[in-house]
């Protein structure tokens, strides 16, 4: 960690930022010189390269992952009927839209990147924000990336090994290659990262269409037997219904990622709300229709017995063509990794700029204009957890923290409405919308505490390690001079190796 945290202060719920360069001293100015930049007159920073189309691709590309193709049965299992499962999909889409609209307001009145971290920092101060970024950095985000990478490895290799199972070590090696490719892409070019994200999002929509269109054709032909008694509630257990909503909200998660890159969005007051609304409308419609398509071919019992619903669906309708489905799923996973890395690196970038992470993470490559250090932050931990970690247990530990902090960020919107009523809000939602979403988020948090107190308690304990870390790395400033000199020297060495300099205003 660095000692620039004293340069930022929270006043009236807002953070006052000072430019990072002013804190660097003469030795850092030398690093910023012509030795690192071929054009000393060129401004180094993150440009506004996220257009409306790219914003839509970021949101949709991160929401639509492997889950909707592989295992949508969690909702059906906990609702007990086809009709109620479709109702839950619709309601979860509406609730996610409420959260997305709340973030649209936050993203247009607080125009800094960083997403959850920034909004908690602005509303509730640096300590809670640090706990959030600490939990993300040490466990949540690397574990999430490792899981997506493993899904990519599984489905990119499946056509090569059919009908035999893919060897686990091959899956991990393919996952590591995919993760490395995404990291490299995000380090090299913002423009190409965005272009590939658009391409992968289009590929996802094509994949979804290959399921929806044949399914709708079957429905129009009269294949409705699986919809008979769709709302038979005899097997539904009310105690399981909240778990169905939990699964649904998890499937829609990802609508908040555009807010992580607000500073790079062109005309954010217009682009952010439009991108969010368009993306959520398309994703919600696709999710409902793809589930309807599944039920035209598969009974509820068959769907619950399947381990890969989309593959099973394709085998029934498409014959040999079904081999392309795993490839589409792999492309979907790659797009999710790409969007996540693009967005999350900006959160670490902003946290470093606020003085809560090492200084080098807020620096930009002199020629490529990418936050290379922030992009690579998660790479070692993700690779480590990919090969040796118990990923799924870790995600169970941390899943409730996602909704706790998202709920707190939206609660911060309500708080800022009262503490800063004159704050410029080009996009404003009725308070009932963030209110409903907050209640939903906190309900899922309490549900996790009730249904799985052991794993949730472990996750909560891991997050609490952020409290002593905050005082050790941020508050405590009486480090020995020799230690501070070593940290400064290490930071300068990383600057030279990575060819990065502080961003210019």
- Distance, in Å, from the CA atom of 398 to the CA atom of 392, rounded to the nearest integer, reads 10
Residues with Cβ < 8 Å from 458, sequence gap 6 or more? 397
Confidence of residue 396 (pLDDT cuts 50, 70, 90): low
The pLDDT tens digits of the residues spanning 296-317 come to 888 888 888 877 787 778 888 8
State residue 505's pLDDT score.
Answer: 56
For β-strands 9-11 and 500-502, DSSP reports them as: unpaired
Q: What are phi and psi of 193, to 5 degrees?
A: -60, -45
Rounded to a whole number, what is the largest CA-CA distance in the chain? 78
CA distance 104 to 426: 10
With CA atoms as reference, report the closest residue to 83 among 388, 349, 288.
Answer: 288
Instruction: Name the strand (E) or helix (H) holding 352.
Output: helix 324-353
Token pair listed for 185: 């892409």
Q: Any residues with CB less than 8 A from the CB of 64 and at least 6 apart, and which?
A: 201, 204, 208, 254, 283, 286, 332, 335, 336
Q: Give the contacts of 422 (CB within 8 A, at least 6 positions apart).
A: none
pLDDT of residue 382: 87
Q: 274 is written with which tokens? A: 């439009």
pLDDT tens figures, 367-381: 888 888 888 888 888
The model's pLDDT over 323-333, given as tens digits with 9 standing for 90+, comes to: 788 888 888 88
CA–CA separation, 139 vs 126, rounded Å?
A: 20
Q: What distance in Å separates the CA atoms of residue 389 and residue 291, rounded to the nearest whole number?
A: 33
Mean pLDDT of 136-158: 84
Of 89, 85, 65, 68, the C-alpha closest to 299 is 85
Residue 215 CA to its chain's centroid (Å): 30
Residue 4: the pLDDT is 42
For the whole prediction, is pTM greater than 0.85?
A: no
Q: What is the pLDDT of residue 70?
A: 63
Determine the Cα–Cα distance for residues 124 and 248; give it in Å rounded to an integer.
Answer: 29
Average pLDDT over the chain, rounded to an integer: 81
Instruction: Please report which helix (H) or strand (E) contains residue 14, including its range.
Output: strand 14-16
Confidence (pLDDT) at 23:
37
Q: What is the DSSP letter of 335?
A: H
Please state, in angstroms and rounded to a whole number, the distance separating the CA atoms of residues 29 and 23. 10
Helix (H) / strand (E) element for 502: namely: strand 500-502
Domains of the chain: 4-13+21-36+46-502 (1.20.1740.10)
pLDDT in the model for residue 35: 37
pLDDT at 432: 94
The span from the CA of 216 to the CA of 213, in Å, is: 5
Contacts of 146 (CB under 8 A, 6+ apart): 175, 179, 382, 383, 385, 386, 389, 391
Which residue do the tokens 């907050």 mark? 438
């Amino acid at each position: 960690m660095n000692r620039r945290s004293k340069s930022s202060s929270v006043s009236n719920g807002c953070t006052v930022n000072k430019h990072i360069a002013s804190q660097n001293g003469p030795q850092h100015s030398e690093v910023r010189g012509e030795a690192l930049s071929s054009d000393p007159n060129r401004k180094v920073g993150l440009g506004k390269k996220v257009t409306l189309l790219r914003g839509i691709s970021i949101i949709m590309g991160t929401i639509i992952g492997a889950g909707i193709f592989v295992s949508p049965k969690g909702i059906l299992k906990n609702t007990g009927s086809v009709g109620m499962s479709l109702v839950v999909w619709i309601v979860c889409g509406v609730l996610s839209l409420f959260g997305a609209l709340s973030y649209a307001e936050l993203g247009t009145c607080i125009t800094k990147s960083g997403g959850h971290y920034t909004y908690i920092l602005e509303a509730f101060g640096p300590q809670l924000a640090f706990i959030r970024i600490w939990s993300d950095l040490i466990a949540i985000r690397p574990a999430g990336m490792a899981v997506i990478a493993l899904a990519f490895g599984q489905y990119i290799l499946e056509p090569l090994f059919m009908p035999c199972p893919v060897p686990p070590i091959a899956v991990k090696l393919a996952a590591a290659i995919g993760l490395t490719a995404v990291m490299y892409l995000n380090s090299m070019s913002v423009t190409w990262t965005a272009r590939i994200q658009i391409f992968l999002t289009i590929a996802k929509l094509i994949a979804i269409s290959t399921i929806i269109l044949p399914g709708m054709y079957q429905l129009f032909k009269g294949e409705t037997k699986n919809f008979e008694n769709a709302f038979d509630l005899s097997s539904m257990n009310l105690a399981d219904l909240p778990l169905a909503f939990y699964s649904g909200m998890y499937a829609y998660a990802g609508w908040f990622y555009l807010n992580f890159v607000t500073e790079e969005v062109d005309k954010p007051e217009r682009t952010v709300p439009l991108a969010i609304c368009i993306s959520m409308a398309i994703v919600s419609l696709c999710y409902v229709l793809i589930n309807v398509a599944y039920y035209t071919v598969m009974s509820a019992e068959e769907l619950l017995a399947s381990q890969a619903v989309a593959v099973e669906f394709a085998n029934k309708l498409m014959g040999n063509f079904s081999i392309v489905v795993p490839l589409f799923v792999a492309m979907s996973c790659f797009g999710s990794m790409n969007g996540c890395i693009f967005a999350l690196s900006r959160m670490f970038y902003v946290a470093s700029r606020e003085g809560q992470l090492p200084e080098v993470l807020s620096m930009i490559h002199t020629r490529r204009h990418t936050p290379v250090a922030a992009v690579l932050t998660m790479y070692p931990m993700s690779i480590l957890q990919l090969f040796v970690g118990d990923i799924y247990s870790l995600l169970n530990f941390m899943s409730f923290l996602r909704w706790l902090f998202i709920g707190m960020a939206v609660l911060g919107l309500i708080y800022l409405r009262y503490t800063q009523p004159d704050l410029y809000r080009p996009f404003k939602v009725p308070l009932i919308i963030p209110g409903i979403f907050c209640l939903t988020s906190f309900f899922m948090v309490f549900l996790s505490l009730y249904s799985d107190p052991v794993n949730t308690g472990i996750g909560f304990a891991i997050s609490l390690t952020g409290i002593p870390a905050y005082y050790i790395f941020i508050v405590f400033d009486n480090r020995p001079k020799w230690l501070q000199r070593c940290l400064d020297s290490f930071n300068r060495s990383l600057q030279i190796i990575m060819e990065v300099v502080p961003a210019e205003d």
